[in-house]
Structures are given as C-alpha cells and as structure tokens.
C-alpha cells in the first residue's frame, strides 16, 4: 500500500491493516481487476480475467433482444467472484464432454431491470425491480452450451423466449431437447446453482440470493 511508504515502520502495520479493511469493504460494490491479494468472494469481477474458456453472446450489448435496444455499452460478463468460481467449475465439467458454456447475460444493473419490467411486467419472465433479480445481485447467469464445433446445442427455444416452451416443466419436446436441458441443469446444480422453472437458460448461484442489489455500470475499457 503506497501510503505505508510515508509512515514510520512502527505505525505502518497498524495503518496498513486499517486501510486494507476499508479497501476490502469498498471493493464489494465496485468493479475490480484480479489482484494477487485475496479479495472478498462477493467482489464484482470480470469473468474474462479469470477464464478464456467461455463463448460470449451477450444479447443486451446488441439490439438482438426483446428490448430491441443495445442497453449494455460492452459485451462483458461481470459477476461476483463466487459466481465466477462456480461457473468456471461448471464449465470444466462441460469441457470434459466436449462442450463449453455460452453466455447470454450475467450481472445486470437495476436500471436495465426496470426497463425490462416496463416491457414484460410478468414475474414468470422478468423479475420485479422492486424485489430485484439475482442478475442485479451478481449471482445469476443466462447460458446455454455449444458443442466442439461451436454449434449451439438445441434447447428447443431461443434465449428469452417468453412462453411455456421455455419451461423446464414443458414436456412436449423431443427426447434430445429434453436430455440437453437436463444435462445443462444437472451440471449447473452440481456446481452450486439453482435452476428457474420458466426459463431453461437461467441459473442462480445458491449462495448469492441474499447479496445486495447493485446499480453500477462497469468499466468498458
């Protein structure tokens, strides 16, 4: 810590400790690049700084989404560190079988949640911003998987399909589609996530449900 250089040695330990605690708390709600020191597992980080093994198709950084608007400045997957760790573990399991996770959405600022709610005010598909989605807490991801050729595995509907066909409980699908959805769900649950009944693509980190809603915009540099 730079400030230590200006403080006599006998005080630097105490001050160093004091300022470390402050900076750890501050990091909880701000974007942080990976550093050698240990950071809280609730710190927001960028997935790409921890793994290069993901495929990105961040729909809200394009106009190809139900809002018909590009609402993210850049196609980054920002999440709390613990979500990143669980996601990397799940991806390793998929990679053993020749698949990789494709990301559609990660952390989502609260103001985006409000715009979504204005368009689709149905809690089966969009979380009420008054309560906040786990996306707003940095603990949810919208994903599918791609095969070794980068081809998306058939899940029966596109991402953000607002209808019963997107539900885990919908059974009038081919055996292949049902087994693809079941495989995605099995690996994600084994790695600490919960599924969401009405959306085959949505997964919540079990330990992320009580984290604070956050309304930050991340660094697009």
Stretch that binds Zn ion, among 13-21, 43-51, 185-193, 201-209 (CB under 5 A): 201-209
- Which of residues 142, 180, 192, 205 is near Zn ion by CB under 5 A? 142
Rounded least distance, CB 36 to Zn ion, Å:
32
Q: Residue 106 Cβ, how far from Zn ion at the closest point, in Å?
A: 9
Q: Binding to Zn ion by residue 137, rule CB under 5 A? A: no
Nearer to Zn ion, 99 or 203 (CB): 203
Q: Which stretch binds Zn ion (CB under 5 A): 7-15, 28-36, 134-142, 163-171?
A: 134-142
Residue 177 and residue 132: Cα distance in Å, rounded? 31
Q: Which is nearer to Zn ion, 39 or 140 (CB)?
A: 140
Note whether 202 binds Zn ion by CB under 5 A. Answer: yes
Closest CB to Zn ion among residues 76, 142: 142
At closest approach, how far in Å is the CB of 201 from Zn ion? 7
Is 168 labeled as ligand-binding? no
CB-based contact 153:144 (threshold 8 Å): yes
CB 22 to Zn ion: min, Å: 33
Burial of residue 202 (CB within 10 Å: 0-12, 13-18, 19+) is buried
Tell me how far apart the alpha carbons of residues 160 and 57 are, in angstroms, rounded to a whole number: 13
3-state secondary structure the chain: CHHHHHCCHHHHHHHHHHHHHHHHHHHCCCECCCCCCCCCCCCEEEHHHCCCCCEECCHHHCCCCCCCCCCCCCCCCEEEHHHHHHHHHHHHHHHHCCCEEEEEECCCCHHHHHHHHHHCCCCCCCCCCCCCCHHHHCCEEEEEEECCCCCECCCCCCCCCCCHHHCCCCCCCCHHHHHHHHHHHHHHHHCCEEEECCEEEEEEEHHHCCCCCCCCCCCCC
- Single out the segment in contact with Zn ion by CB under 5 A; choices: 56-64, 136-144, 150-158, 161-169: 136-144
Q: How many residues bind Zn ion (CB under 5 A)?
A: 2
Active site residue 38: no
Active-site position among 29, 38, 124, 199? 199
Residue whose CB is less far from Zn ion, 181 or 202: 202
Smallest gap from Cβ 198 to Zn ion, in A, equals 10
Q: In the complex, which residues of this chain contact Zn ion (CB under 5 A)?
A: 142, 202
Which residues belong to the annotated binding site for Zn(2+)? 135, 142, 202
Which residues belong to the annotated binding site? 135, 142, 202
Q: Which residues are catalytic?
A: 199
């Amino acid at each position: 810590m730079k400030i230590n250089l200006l403080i006599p040695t006998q005080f630097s330990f105490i001050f160093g400790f004091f300022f470390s605690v402050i900076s750890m708390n501050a990091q909880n709600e701000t974007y942080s690049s990976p550093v050698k020191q240990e950071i809280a597992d609730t710190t927001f980080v960028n997935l790409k700084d921890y793994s290069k093994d993901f495929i990105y198709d961040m729909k809200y950084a394009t106009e190809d989404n139900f809002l018909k608007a590009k609402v993210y400045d850049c196609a980054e997957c920002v999440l709390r560190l613990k979500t990143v760790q669980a996601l990397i573990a799940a991806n390793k399991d998929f990679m053993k079988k020749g698949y990789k996770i494709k990301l559609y959405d990660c952390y989502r600022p609260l103001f985006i949640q409000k715009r979504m709610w204005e368009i689709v005010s149905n809690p089966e598909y969009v979380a009420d911003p008054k309560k906040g989605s786990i996306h707003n807490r940095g603990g949810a991801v919208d994903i599918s998987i791609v095969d070794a050729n980068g081809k998306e595995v058939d899940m029966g509907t596109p991402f953000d399909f607002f209808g019963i066909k997107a539900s885990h409980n919908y059974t009038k699908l081919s055996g292949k589609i049902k087994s693809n959805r079941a495989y995605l769900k099995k690996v994600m649950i084994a790695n600490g996530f919960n599924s969401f009944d009405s959306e085959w693509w949505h997964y919540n980190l079990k330990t992320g449900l009580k984290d604070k809603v956050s309304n930050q915009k991340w660094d697009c540099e």
